[in-house]
């Protein structure tokens, strides 16, 4: 360990002013970055609520609202609304969905659950063809980007969710 | 595996955030800083443990944190440049009685803080009695008084 040099003013101290200046600049940039992260979080891009945290896709039979950004081991929701018009409504989700999400509950409970080649189909019955609203309570099992397909009755749509660690 | 990655990520993240938030944050623990410290500790604990409360998880995590700490101390020893980045180096705020306004502003130190340190350490009354004031790595200000006249 070398002793620090003696400065012109007589103080024996290694100040590294150049490094300080660089650090002070980095520090200010970091504070702005911290603030930006907060803005992104408020917008919903870090998951757990916020205007941008959900995506809504329309289908002939209704619409589905799935999380754009979810958090690993945190709860989330997939909301499906079927328009009025049929007694039996079918919601299909493919295998990759279940690889990344654990279904903690479905509200209302499906009348039947079928396994198909592509994934799982849940059937809900509607009294007098009334509109049906289904909420699936999810919990993300792994972090990463997951692409899956959501199907309402006969039409399918691609969806993707970023699961943050 | 998870616990080790969590431990290292949280350790490095805290190190970076605390370092970038400025040294002054660490210098004087006010009531507010204390609350902040408690909240950060609680949040960190949850992020570290997740919902795995097993004994082995705690053991692995504690070992991870200690090993990271030891490894970092070796890195600092081998590379003085890294050490300066991680710990910082002292900042001279007053040199030969001359106030360095840039250093004060950038390091977020007030002349009142310098005067407080001067009073506490040497019972000095005025700024002109301060020869040197240095913001140390730990965030405290050390004062070297001017030679007494007469």
Torsion of CA B121, B126, B128, B133, to 10 degrees: 30
Q: Which of A1, A5, A27, A32 is the best mutation test for B, with the most CBs of B within 10 A?
A: A27
pLDDT value at position A144? 92
- At B59, the pLDDT band (50, 70, 90 cuts) reads very high
Choose one of B87, B107, B136: the last residue of a domain: B87
* pTM confidence score: 0.76
For residue B150, tell me if it sits in a domain: no
Cβ distance A26 to B134 less than 8 Å, yes or no, reads no
Domain boundaries, chain A: 1-43, 54-164
pLDDT value at position B149? 54
Domain count, chain B: 2
pLDDT value at position A8? 83
Residue stretches of chain A with pLDDT short of 50: none
B128 DSSP assignment: G
For residue B17, tell me if it sits in a domain: yes
How far apart are the C-alpha atoms of A15 and B84, rounded to whole Å?
A: 10
pLDDT value at position B138? 79
Cβ distance B134 to A13 less than 8 Å, yes or no, reads yes
ipTM: 0.74
Closest CA to A28 of B135, B90, B108: B108
For residue B18, tell me if it sits in a domain: yes
pLDDT tens sequence across B60-84: 999 999 999 999 999 988 988 888 8
Does B120 score more than 50 pLDDT? yes
pLDDT value at position B37? 84
* CB-nearest partner of B92 from A15, A19, A24: A15
pLDDT value at position B68? 94
pLDDT tens sequence across A28-69: 999 999 999 999 999 999 988 888 999 999 999 899 999 999
Residues B13 and B59 both lie in one domain: yes
- At B32, the pLDDT band (50, 70, 90 cuts) reads confident
Provide the token pair at B62.
Answer: 């504690």
Cβ distance B20 to A31 less than 8 Å, yes or no, reads yes
Residues B83 and B10 both lie in one domain: yes
Residues B67 and B117 both lie in one domain: no
> If you average pLDDT over residues B10-17, what whole number do you get?
90
Q: Does A44 sit behind a cis peptide bond, omega within 30 degrees of 0 on the bond before it? A: no
Choose one of B87, B108, B134: the last residue of a domain: B87
Using the CB atoms, write b or e for A115-130: b if 16+ within 10 Å: eeeebbbbebebeeee
- At B150, the pLDDT band (50, 70, 90 cuts) reads very low
> If you average pLDDT over residues B41-60, what whole number do you get?
86
Residues B71 and B29 both lie in one domain: yes
Residues B71 and B105 both lie in one domain: no
For residue B6, tell me if it sits in a domain: yes
Residues B95 and B116 both lie in one domain: yes
> If you average pLDDT over residues B3-14, what whole number do you get?
90
Top CATH class of A54-164 equals mainly beta
Closest approach of chain A CAs to the CA of B96, in angstroms? 7
Residues B13 and B73 both lie in one domain: yes
For residue A76, the cross-strand partners are: A138
pLDDT tens sequence across B87-109: 888 889 998 888 999 888 888 88
Residues B122 and B74 both lie in one domain: no
Owning domain of residue B119: 91-145
Choose one of B60, B87, B114: the last residue of a domain: B87
- At B49, the pLDDT band (50, 70, 90 cuts) reads confident
pLDDT value at position B107? 84
Residues B59 and B47 both lie in one domain: yes
């Amino acid at each position: 360990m070398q002793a620090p040099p003696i400065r012109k003013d007589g103080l024996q101290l290694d100040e590294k002013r150049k490094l300080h200046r660089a650090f002070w600049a980095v520090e200010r940039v970091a504070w702005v970055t911290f603030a930006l992260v907060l803005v992104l979080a408020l917008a919903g891009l870090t998951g757990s609520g916020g205007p941008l945290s959900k995506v809504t896709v329309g289908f002939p039979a209704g619409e589905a609202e799935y999380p754009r950004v979810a958090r690993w081991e945190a709860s989330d929701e997939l909301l499906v609304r079927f328009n009025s018009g049929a007694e039996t409504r079918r919601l299909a989700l493919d295998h990759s969905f279940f690889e990344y999400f654990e279904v903690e509950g479905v509200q209302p409970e499906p009348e039947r659950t079928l396994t198909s080649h592509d994934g799982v189909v849940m059937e809900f019955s509607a009294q007098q063809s009334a509109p049906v609203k289904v909420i699936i309570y999810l919990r993300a099992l792994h972090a990463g980007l997951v692409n899956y397909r959501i199907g309402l009755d006969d039409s399918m749509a691609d969806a993707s969710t970023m699961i943050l660690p | 595996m998870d616990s080790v990655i969590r431990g290292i990520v949280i350790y490095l993240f805290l190190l970076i955030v605390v370092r970038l938030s400025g040294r002054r944050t660490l210098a004087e623990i006010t009531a507010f800083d204390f609350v902040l410290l408690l909240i950060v500790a609680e949040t960190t604990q949850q992020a570290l443990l997740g919902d795995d409360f097993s004994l082995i998880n705690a053991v692995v995590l504690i070992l991870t944190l200690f090993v990271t700490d030891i490894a970092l101390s070796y890195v600092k020893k081998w590379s003085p440049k890294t050490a300066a980045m991680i710990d910082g180096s002292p900042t001279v705020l007053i040199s030969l009685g001359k106030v360095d306004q840039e250093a004060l502003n950038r390091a977020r130190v007030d002349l009142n803080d310098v005067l407080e340190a001067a009073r506490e350490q040497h019972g000095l009354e005025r700024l002109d009695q301060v020869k040197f004031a240095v913001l140390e790595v730990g965030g405290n200000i050390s004062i070297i008084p001017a030679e007494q006249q007469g």
